Structure 1
Amino acid sequence: MSSRYAQTPSQQQRPANSDSGYGGSVEDGDREFSVSVLPGQSSDPERRQWASHVHQLYFNQNRVALGRWISRTVETLKNFQTANSKWPATYPAVQRAEALSEEAETSEQPRLVTPQIAQEFNVLKLDLKLGALSPSELVHSLEKSSIASLLDGKIGQSVKHLMLLRDRIEDTSSKVLVTGDLNAGKSTFCNALLRKKVLPEDQQPCTSIFCEVLDARENSSVEEVHAIPINGALYNRHDSSTYHVYSLDQLEEIVVENDVYCQVKIYVEDVRAIDESLLRNGVVDIAIIDAPGLNLDSIKTTAVFARQEEIDVVVFVVSAENHFTLSAKEFIQAAANEKAYIFIVVNRFDNIRDKARCQRLILEQVAQLSPRTHQDAKELVHFVSSNAVIEGKDGAKLKEFDELEQSLRRFVLEKRARSKLAPAKHYLLNVLGDLETLAEVNINVTSAELEKVRDELSTITPEFQKSVQARTAVSDNVEVTIDETCDNVYGFSRKNISATIAHIDDKAIVEYDGVLSAFAYAEKTKEAMLQKIQKSVTICEEYARNQTVGGINSMKALGIMHLGDEYVEKAFRKELMFSRKRHQLSKTIQTEINIFDFFDFDKQEKVAGMSMGLTVATMAGGQLFGVSSWIDGLWKATSMLGPRTTRKLIVPALLVAGAAGAWFLIADIPNAVPRKLAKKIRKELEAMDYIHANSERIMKECRKVLGFPAEELRGAFQRSIEKQGRTVEEKKKLEKESEVAVKYFGNLLREAREHKGGVMKLDLEGPPSGTTA
């Protein structure tokens, strides 16, 4: 069928918001094309025909231009979808009046807050419902990744819808969807348009599937019903396996409470003249689709919402008795994202007593739901009674319906630029407007994020470098502390143990009970000496404990000073040091006591003692005989007594001298035993290298214990530096991502504005921009 159609003279161009271009045949100053009259074209019919050709040329050119902008927008959306998966876009909240007043009262705001916009999104709106939370509040209670996922789904839906829009404007036919609430009279209205009862009517809901009414000439002028099974093959009129054929009389049993078919194609004959019939109009192929009621069930309601994506014109039938229900409002608001104009039929108006009040309330609701429809309410909002048309009894009501039909005809046929192209343009502008808003918001957010991360990097990078340097310095300090502490402990231990061993026999440390207990005395003396040495070692160990505590406290101070709360201080119990008694001399010293340990013949004092014994005996004799020395006494005695007597006395003298020496040795046992045992112990300890071994053992224990907090401190520094390093790397990565995001959203804003400007320049009822008529 030809796509040409008769066109009334066009009117002068005015802004779209103030004039819809309806009523082209009425001389009311509306828009009119400036068409030059060619030679020989002076009659009105020729002029109208020429205007029709020019208008069709404009329509085709605008259709092609609009298709190009759709393709560019689809590409932009797909790129945005990819970018959103890498850098989740910030979704702004709607700025309310109370929020504005609160913002005015508070001067201090967080550096990075969720940005707000002045109005809701149109197409990319994340509309969720849960409890008392508003959609905006609910969206912003989610994580950013969840919001990005929801936004990704919205972008995908928009891309799909734009593709359908492109197919729709390429299609030369037009589809009219008749929808509304249950029992609003949709089927009755469709029958009124056809001027005969085709679709079943009842006081109860009777249409449960989509019924598409087509001109019978598309089916070889045969009136019949093609029922398409659920989950069946795609409908093809030339393939009878894709549908079941029924007569028009069987239509009611198919569409009422049906669970077999998803849709029916109804081919009917309209014998009226082409200037009266909408279905057979002589201009374009028209399909009238009667939809199930919106409140029938949730699945079918969702199907109606989805079906409007492939529809050129929406005729919404509302009951004058019930006005707009919640589902009706939701549908019109969803359709308004694409269709600026919706044809509204207020049915059963004859049942209303206060008609003026009903009209006022309906128009007030229309103004809120679809402002542009309200602007052209005379053409788009009609109050009728469809039953009267079928019955044909009331001439006034028939006239009202005829006016409705002519308005619908003008909208579908004569104003195809608005019914066919305007929805695509309107939807494009909404999508691009949402993209522009998102781009502007995210430019601000990413710029602020970039500035923030750069400020953070300027702070944490020097801190990180300082921590690296501090780790080296602290590690050196720890080593110095350990070395100094260990050297101090070793020096003290060596000095103290050496002094103790050197003077273990200085004082009588065991009481001597006489010669009969000499061996017991020697054993006790040996044990006392070993205990004295052990005590000195114990003193050195205690000194080492205290020094170790000091070293650990020094390390803790370094940790707290450089790491603060990141440094975890561990408890240290110094009494656990030296728990293994490795210095017990009773198990290591093998000194045996013998008879020679009781007499010290190695010292000159001992000989002098024996001489002293002889001297004592001689002095006694000298006093008796008046001599001063035993030599002199012996000489004098020999002279006085003579040799013979002297020989007799020498043996007793020697016995006396020996007895005196023996007495001296026995008397020297308390002094000889300590000296002899001390000498033997020193010699054995020297052979064992006892002083160095114990000093080194104490020092090693000290170094070992100090090594634990030293490693903990180094580990804490390493963890802190690694953490800071990761933070620095993450911030640098975020900086690069922010730079890319700022650049991307800048390009997105430029593209959105460029596309939006190009679409806005399209005058759908006039020549494309840059052309003249």
Structure 2
Amino acid sequence: MASQHAHRVATTVDAAATRIASDLHSDSGYGGSIIDGEQPAVILGNVNNGPQSEESRRQWASHVHQMAYNQNRVALGRSINRTVETLKGFQKMNSKWPAHYPAVQRPESTPLQRTQSTVQDSQGDFNPQPLRRAATTAEDHTKPAVSQPEEPRLVTPKIAEDFNVLKLDLKLGSLSPSELVHSLEKSSVASLLDGKISQSIKHLLSLRDRIEDTSSKVLITGDLNAGKSTFCNALLRKKVLPEDQQPCTSIFCEVLDARENSNIEEFHAIPLDGPAYNRNDETTYDAYPLEKLEEIVVENDRYHQVKVYVEDVRSIDQSLLRNGVVDIALIDAPGLNMDSIKTTAVFARQEEIDVVVFVVSAENHFTLSAKEFIWNAANEKAYIFIVVNRFDNIRDKARCRRMIMEQVAHLSPQTHADAHELVHFVSSNAVIEGTDAVKIKEFEELEQSLRSFVLDKRARSKLAPAKTYLMNLLGDLETLADVNKNTISAEIDRLKEAYNKIAPAFEKAVKARTQVSDEVERTIEETVNNVCKFTRRTVSEVISRIDESPSVAYEGILSAFAYAEATKNAMLSTIQNSVTKSEEHARKKTTQGVSSISALGLMHLGDEYVEKTFRADFMFSRKRHQLNRDIQINIDAFDFFDFDRQEKIAGAGTALTVASVAVPQIVGIQSWFDGVWKATNLIGVRNTRKLIIPAIALAAAAGAYFVISDIPNAVPRKLAKKIRQQLAEIDYVHVNADRIGKETRKVLKFPAEDLRSGFQRSIEKQGQTVEETKKTMKESEVAIKYFGNLLREAKAQRGAVGTLDLEGHSCSE
């Protein structure tokens, strides 16, 4: 039965051989270390040739695995390209619409605090949680296996734990990193996020180059004096790197196969601030023999890295450097806590390598620097190869092993899950010395596991970091997109509610401005018309009746001229008082108008209206009426006698009346005619002729008396006539009414203009608010559409990356 099953398998594999071989156009990493004249590690032979059948089937299975590896590599490369484009789009959007970053609501524990939490379930065993950070951090597995009430979506502690790659961390004073981030302005947070996106794009491109590179870089790091150099020498089976109890490695030492250097064993020291290293360009490095390596590495201030070319004479199935499959570079790094600069360099360097071999001292376990490094590496590396060195120095080995494994479970759960392959307790010194067969065997098992991890399980060592980083990054994008979508949706609702309030208020304000402007103009016109009419009526009435009640006393003919002058001044003063009265009326009406306009401003603008102080006494202060300067009245003799035609008739009638009254009383007759007739009869004609002249003289004397006695009445009439004539010539009433009206209008224009300006500012402000709200709503609609698409895209890409089965075609299966 067993032979029949083997035959069926062999036949199936043989039938697929042609198809598989046609797909393998390139070795895609395998065979990269094969040089001319060497036999490849995989021999394509007849799968039915007896003893070679099992080996052939294994080789063909390896090719099938390699095909799956290539397919996954291509798929990851495409996913990286799509993610880079997505990040660039997000970066562009973030510059236009700063992405919302969740706010802190309560203190968040640090990664190191989380790594120290309990990770055991009720039976005391490790209890894995659902994959989130691709099971790369203890944060995913340090929560108790009890149900917790789900927190609101925008509460940071939950979201902050979801962030891995795009997590914004700053350190300043007593503020926690997240609290500090969220104390910044939105634009500053967007700037920090933009920097993170740029770093992610750069790292993705580095990952793409890394998975396309056929070689593999193995970083050997750990705490200071943990035995990294000793471990590296043990892998090489000879002392190449300097070893001491004191810190030895102060720069990066990259150990390569000597065949890449024309089989010459030496090292190339790369100067600080020098050009990029090129093995074929000797100006880019200084070449030294291996004997000088310790001198350069231990005390160095000239170089930042050395390339050590070493020949490993062991067979390809034993050597790590010369493995016949891929080119391997072993990078011995400075100790993590040597100093801050070198520690930072180690943190940065781990991003460009494929496999992390972390050497920890069995005596000291994991320090804070070690935990922080592993936590940082876990963003993309689910598996870390851990070497517990100097295990032979521990007396209670079981206790040490248990404590180390508990710490590994906290730091890297996936590593803990595959601890039988990835965690090894060895003594590197014993391997070089060759004194203890048991310890050498333990180290050989470690070496085989490392070879298997780097070579056979390249999906873990080469592709898994890229997958894990993509999963973390896309998960961060998904979280950010979801948060921003919800936030913008709430913002749009708020904007719509605000717009529904401010838009009608804006339209109402525009209408109110027109109505108020019309009302203000009406107030101004009514006030001006009122003061103009009042001025015309008051001044006209005074001028028309100026001679009716003179207030100057007449003291006789000897003071007639003084009387005339005083009468003129009194008349002019009366007219001037009427103008002054009109100005006072205008002040009163202007004050009422200003108050009305201010009331409109306060009613419609409220606190936005600034009411200015109005001083009515300042009106008409610069253009006071100067009547004596404008009116020039010269008094002459004719001003004392009124020879107007009507007044002459009236004067003559009066004189005759006097004569007719006086003479008849003397002679006892009733009329001139009767008197003359009777006198003629009595005294005769001759005597009558003699009496005519005295009668005429008497009448003239009586007329003169009347004229002189009429001076107090004639002077006011004559002067009033002259004044009216001059005032009419200069249009005195209209000029003053116009002057007072213009002054009133001018004063009322100030509060009216202030009110219009206030309305204009208010409307412009409201209009700007309306436009900004509309603009923000449009931008928000674009943003929510973008983040909705980003959420779907991130989910789709994350789902596609998650379906990649990097473990399904392992050669060990």
Q: Same fold (TM over 0.5)?
A: yes
| Structure 1 pair 54–608 and aligned structure 2 pair: CA distance change class (3 A) | closer
**Structure-1 separation of matches of 2:179 and 2:548:** 92
Kindly indicate whether residue 208 of structure 2 is the aligned counterpart of residue 198 of structure 1: no
Kindly indicate whether residue 530 of structure 2 is the aligned counterpart of residue 488 of structure 1: yes
5 Å matches for 1:199-278?
Answer: 199-278=241-320
The structural deviation recorded for 1:437 is 0.6
**Structure-2 separation of matches of 1:291 and 1:275:** 26
Residue deviations 1:138-172 (CA, integer Å, cap 9, x gap) = 11112222222211111111111111111111222
The structural deviation recorded for 1:739 is 1.6
534-543 or 365-374, larger mean C-alpha shift? 365-374
Partner of 2:613: 571
Q: 1:53 aligns with which of 48, 59, 63?
A: 63
Q: 1:282 aligns with which of 318, 321, 324?
A: 324
Q: 1:171 aligns with which of 206, 213, 218?
A: 213
**Structure-2 separation of matches of 1:361 and 1:501:** 120
Partner of 1:598: 640
Kindly indicate whether residue 690 of structure 2 is the aligned counterpart of residue 680 of structure 1: no
* Maintained 8 Å contact 1:292/1:300: yes
Partner of 2:467: 425
The structural deviation recorded for 1:604 is 4.9
| Structure 1 pair 652–418 and aligned structure 2 pair: CA distance change class (3 A) | same
What is the DSSP-based 3-state SS (H/G/I as helix, E as strand, rest coil) of the residue aligned with 1:117? helix
One-letter amino acid of the structure 1 residue matched with residue 65 of structure 2: H
**Structure-1 separation of matches of 2:577 and 2:308:** 116
Partner of 1:386: 428
Partner of 2:558: 516
Kindly indicate whether residue 385 of structure 2 is the aligned counterpart of residue 375 of structure 1: no
* Maintained 8 Å contact 1:615/1:630: no
What is the DSSP-based 3-state SS (H/G/I as helix, E as strand, rest coil) of the residue aligned with 1:278? coil
The structural deviation recorded for 1:515 is 1.6
**Structure-2 separation of matches of 1:675 and 1:494:** 22
| Structure 1 pair 169–678 and aligned structure 2 pair: CA distance change class (3 A) | same
| Structure 1 pair 118–148 and aligned structure 2 pair: CA distance change class (3 A) | closer
5 Å matches for 1:455-494?
Answer: 455-494=497-536
259-268 or 246-255, larger mean C-alpha shift? 259-268
Partner of 1:74: 84
What is the DSSP-based 3-state SS (H/G/I as helix, E as strand, rest coil) of the residue aligned with 1:281? coil
**Structure-2 separation of matches of 1:377 and 1:569:** 82
Partner of 2:74: 64
Partner of 1:22: none
Partner of 1:733: 775
Partner of 1:549: 591
**Structure-2 separation of matches of 1:673 and 1:692:** 27
The structural deviation recorded for 1:326 is 3.4
Q: 1:85 aligns with which of 75, 92, 95?
A: 95
Residue deviations 1:679-732 (CA, integer Å, cap 9, x gap) = 111111112111111111211222222222222222222232222222222222
* Maintained 8 Å contact 1:174/1:286: yes
316-325 or 508-517, larger mean C-alpha shift? 316-325
Partner of 2:12: none
The structural deviation recorded for 1:303 is 2.2
423-432 or 226-235, larger mean C-alpha shift? 226-235
**Structure-1 separation of matches of 2:351 and 2:155:** 36
308-317 or 325-334, larger mean C-alpha shift? 325-334
5 Å matches for 1:583-732?
Answer: 583-602=625-644, 604=646, 608=650, 612=654, 615-616=657-658, 619-629=661-671, 631-732=673-774
What is the DSSP-based 3-state SS (H/G/I as helix, E as strand, rest coil) of the residue aligned with 2:161? coil
What is the DSSP-based 3-state SS (H/G/I as helix, E as strand, rest coil) of the residue aligned with 1:88? coil
One-letter amino acid of the structure 1 residue matched with residue 312 of structure 2: D
Identical amino acids, percent of aligned pairs: 71
The structural deviation recorded for 1:397 is 4.0
| Structure 1 pair 605–171 and aligned structure 2 pair: CA distance change class (3 A) | closer
278-287 or 288-297, larger mean C-alpha shift? 278-287
What is the DSSP-based 3-state SS (H/G/I as helix, E as strand, rest coil) of the residue aligned with 2:759? helix
The structural deviation recorded for 1:241 is 3.2
Q: 1:453 aligns with which of 495, 498, 509?
A: 495
**Structure-1 separation of matches of 2:473 and 2:653:** 131
What is the DSSP-based 3-state SS (H/G/I as helix, E as strand, rest coil) of the residue aligned with 2:371? helix
The structural deviation recorded for 1:445 is 1.7
**Structure-1 separation of matches of 2:269 and 2:503:** 72
Residue deviations 1:544-603 (CA, integer Å, cap 9, x gap) = 122222222222222223323332222222222212335321011112111111122326
Partner of 1:765: 807
Residue deviations 1:112-137 (CA, integer Å, cap 9, x gap) = 99997262411111111111111211
383-392 or 132-141, larger mean C-alpha shift? 383-392
**Structure-1 separation of matches of 2:48 and 2:799:** 38
Kindly indicate whether residue 452 of structure 2 is the aligned counterpart of residue 442 of structure 1: no
One-letter amino acid of the structure 1 residue matched with residue 239 of structure 2: K
Partner of 1:501: 543
| Structure 1 pair 461–716 and aligned structure 2 pair: CA distance change class (3 A) | same
The structural deviation recorded for 1:522 is 0.8
* Maintained 8 Å contact 1:128/1:138: yes
What is the DSSP-based 3-state SS (H/G/I as helix, E as strand, rest coil) of the residue aligned with 1:172? coil
757-766 or 343-352, larger mean C-alpha shift? 343-352
One-letter amino acid of the structure 2 residue matched with residue 340 of structure 1: A
**Structure-2 separation of matches of 1:40 and 1:661:** 176
One-letter amino acid of the structure 2 residue matched with residue 711 of structure 1: E
| Structure 1 pair 604–153 and aligned structure 2 pair: CA distance change class (3 A) | closer
Partner of 2:387: 345
Gaps of 5+ in 1: 6-36
* Maintained 8 Å contact 2:591/2:616: yes
What is the DSSP-based 3-state SS (H/G/I as helix, E as strand, rest coil) of the residue aligned with 2:308? strand
Gaps of 5+ in 2: 1-25, 32-45, 110-147
* Maintained 8 Å contact 1:94/1:117: no
Kindly indicate whether residue 312 of structure 2 is the aligned counterpart of residue 302 of structure 1: no
Partner of 1:150: 192
Q: CA RMSD in A?
A: 3.1
**Structure-2 separation of matches of 1:393 and 1:674:** 151
* Maintained 8 Å contact 2:481/2:791: yes
46-55 or 154-163, larger mean C-alpha shift? 46-55
Q: How many residues align?
A: 731
* Maintained 8 Å contact 1:58/1:765: no
Q: 1:752 aligns with which of 787, 794, 806?
A: 794
One-letter amino acid of the structure 2 residue matched with residue 429 of structure 1: M
